[in-house]
Structure 1
Amino acid sequence: MQDQKIIELIRLNNHDKALLVLYKNFPAVRKMIRLKGGNAQDAEDVFQEALIILCRKIKETEFILHAQLSTYLFGVCRFLWKDELKKRNKQPLLDFETGLSAAEEQQWEGWAGEEARIGLAEKVVKELGERCREVLLLFYNSGMKLKDIASKMGYSSENTAKNQKYKCLEAAKNKLKEMKQAIQTI
């Protein structure tokens, strides 16, 4: 299947066919990760995270493929594994050649940081109560106005919705601080 066809399938949310083709790249990723100190489970985790990143990037309108999709996916996996090793402090990174230019390396680091922040935000939102989660998702994801949120959630006024949003946002910030502190103590 051609790369552009795979990209089109992902953009149309027809992931099954696209992922079937992309999974043919997994053995090469597994081999690379094993050679760099990982195991089969590490390879699966990295590959799945890379697929998520790839799908998100493809759905962005500015996504332009400058190489084969398999090369792009392998590069994402290499960078994710390099980042994982850095977190584990398992291997000196001087001998980890990514094959990327300095500019590409910087771009990958930016994307990986963005994905990490998105993942952390998703975890925080999942830990909030149902009503808080709904208020924040309606406001930030759906772009719904506070007046409409008040109506949908059964609040007495727009001000009540505004206060609830503020309280939920504060709760999310506190959960985020707790998570960051927990990560730092590990």
Structure 2
Amino acid sequence: MHPDQKYITALLHNDTSLLDELYKKYSGKIKWMVLQNNGTETDAADIFQEALISIYHKARTQDFVLTCPLDAFLYLICKNKWLNELNKRKNHKVTLSDNDGYNDIGEDSFKLSEDVLLLEERKELLMQKFAELGEGCREILQLSWSGKGMEEVAEILKVSYGYARKKKSECMGKLVTLVKGSSQFNSLKW
């Protein structure tokens, strides 16, 4: 059973907080795929909703156990649904290639599952090591990662621009050292 099974359980029990997390975490990729293939944001929202309903019905009527990341599974379902919709419309060119593996779960989808899982494990390691940094480092990195310019970060922290840049560089160095020093680093194929 994959840890993402929690989202299947959330669908079955209408757990609004986890469902909210599911939407935030996965809807963007589906939206991008639909928009790249002659769809609208409304189309993407409809396809995403239909996929969740399909998963809900499957989970409700069977002992459904998720064995891969929900991201890959949901993407395949949405891609199938969108291709079916485009086929009904018949007037839009599909830009998905034939070798995308949307007709059945093949090697490409397992590769996608592995890639998604690897990214999640890398992110988890990064967040663990980020938590080990001092409060000052966490604050400056969070501010700079939030899209703020270094001038704005310096102003918020009430320090000079030069100091803010130097401190960010030092903190990034510490984070990189912590990540590379982890026993998990080599197994995550960085």
Superposition TM-score tier, normalisation by shorter sequence:
0.5 to 0.7
Instruction: Pick from 151, 158, 180 the counterpart of residue 155 of structure 2.
Output: 151
Higher relative contact order (CA 8 A, sep 6+): 2
Tell me the residue number matched to 1:79: 68
Q: 2:167 aligns with which of 150, 161, 164?
A: 164
> Identity over aligned residues, as a percent?
22
Report how far residue 58 of structure 1 moved: 2.5
* Unmatched runs of 5 consecutive residues or more in structure 2: 1-6, 14-19, 34-46, 70-103
Partner of 2:27 in structure 1?
A: 58
SS at match of 1:79: coil
Aligned positions, number: 121
Match of 1:175 in 2: 178
Residue deviations 1:50-82 (CA, integer Å, cap 9, x gap):
x9777512254437648523469x67x3026xx
Give deviations 1:98-156, integer Å, cap 9, x for gaps: x831111111111111111111111111111111001111111x11111111111121x
Q: Cα offset for 1:181?
A: 5.8
What CA distance in whole angstroms lies between the structure 2 residues aligned with 1:125 and 1:183? 18
How many Å separate the matches in 2 of 1:62 and 1:133?
Answer: 31
Contact 2:179 2:185 in 1 (8 A): no
RMSD (CA atoms): 3.6
Q: What are the ranges of 5 or more consecutive residues in structure 1 without an aligned counterpart? A: 1-17, 25-50, 81-98
The alignment's TM-score, normalised by the length of structure 2, stands at 0.51
Q: How many angstroms apart in 2 are the aligned matches of 1:121 and 1:148?
A: 25
Aligned residue type for 2:32: E
Which runs of structure 2 are paired with 1:40-55 in the superposition (5 Å)?
none
1:119 alignment partner, one of 117, 120, 124: 124
What's the CA shift for 1:20? 6.8
CA distance in 2, matches of 1:59, 1:112: 18
Q: Which has the higher helix share?
A: 1
